[in-house]
Chains A and B, each alone.
Chain A
Amino acid sequence: MNSSDEEIVTQVLAGEKELYAVLVDRYQRPVYNLMFRYTRNSEEAADLTQDAFFQAFDRLRTFDTEKRFFPWLYRLAVNLAGDWARKRSLRWSRHHIVRQTAVETVPAGQHDQIELRDELRQVERALLELSPQTREILILRYRHSQSVREVAEAFGLGESAVKMRIKRGLESLRSIIGEERGGSERE
Chain B
Amino acid sequence: MSENNWSDKQLEELLRFDIESEPPPDLSEMIMRRVRNHRPGFRRQLWNWLHRPCTVHFRPLQLAATTAALALFFWAGMTVERNFSEDPPLAAAIAENARANYLIGRGLLAGDQVESALPFLEKAVQQDPTSAEFSHWQGVAYWALGKTELERQSYVRTVRSNPDHLPTHLYLGHNYLENGRYREALASYQRVLDRDPSAPEALYNKALVYHRLNDHPQERQAFRQYLETYRTGKWARRAVQHLQALGDYGYRLYRIGIQEVALNMSALLQSGSAAQRREIERLAANLEQNRTEGLHELHIVVYDEHSRTRARETALGLRGQLGEYLQAKENMVIRTSWFDAAETLGKTNGKKLSQSILLFTRQMISADRRNTT
Contacts and interface: CB of A to CB of B under 8 A. Distances in A.
Q: Which secondary structure dominates where chain B touches chain A?
A: helix
Contact of B204 (A95, A115, A143): A95
Q: Which secondary structure dominates where chain A touches chain B?
A: helix
B1 interface: yes
A123 B11 contact: yes
Nearest to A167: B8
A178 B5 contact: yes
B17 interface: yes
B87 to A, nearest CB: 29
B48 A61 contact: yes
B122 to A, nearest CB: 17
A143 B2 contact: no
Contacts of B6: 174, 177
Interface string A5-34: 000000000000110110011001110110
Interface in B1-31: 1-2, 4-6, 8, 11-12, 14-24, 27-28, 30-31
Interface stretch (B170-178, B290-298, B330-338): B170-178
Given A43-B238, A49-B27, A139 B15 contact: yes
Interface residues of A, number: 60
Nearest to B53: A64
Contact of B20 (A18, A33, A59): A33
A104 B231 CA distance: 35
Nearest to A123: B14
- For B5, B31, B52, B174, the residue with the greatest tally of chain A CB atoms inside 10 Å of its CB is B31
Contact of A42 (B24, B109, B177): B24
A174 B1 CA distance: 13
Contacts of A54: 31, 34-35, 38
B112 interface: yes
A166 B1 CA distance: 20
A63 B8 CA distance: 35
A186 interface: no
A96 B205 contact: yes
A95 B21 contact: no
A89 B30 contact: no
Interface in A50-85: 50, 53-54, 57-59, 61-66
B48 A59 contact: yes
Contacts of B159: none
A142 B12 contact: yes
B217 interface: no
A32 to B, nearest CB: 4
B253 interface: no
B334 to A, nearest CB: 27
Interface in A100-151: 100, 102-106, 115-116, 119-120, 123-124, 138-139, 142-143, 145
5 contacts: A28-B27, A29-B20, A61-B49, A96-B208, A106-B19
Interface of B: 1-2, 4-6, 8, 11-12, 14-24, 27-28, 30-32, 34-36, 38, 40, 44, 48-49, 51-53, 109-110, 112, 114, 140, 143-144, 171, 174, 177-178, 201, 204-205, 208, 234-235, 238
Given A58-B40, A105-B22, A123-B15, 9 more contacts: A46-B23, A49-B27, A61-B49, A89-B114, A95-B174, A95-B205, A95-B208, A96-B178, A102-B21
The 3 closest A-B pairs by CB, nearest first: A64-B53, A142-B15, A32-B23
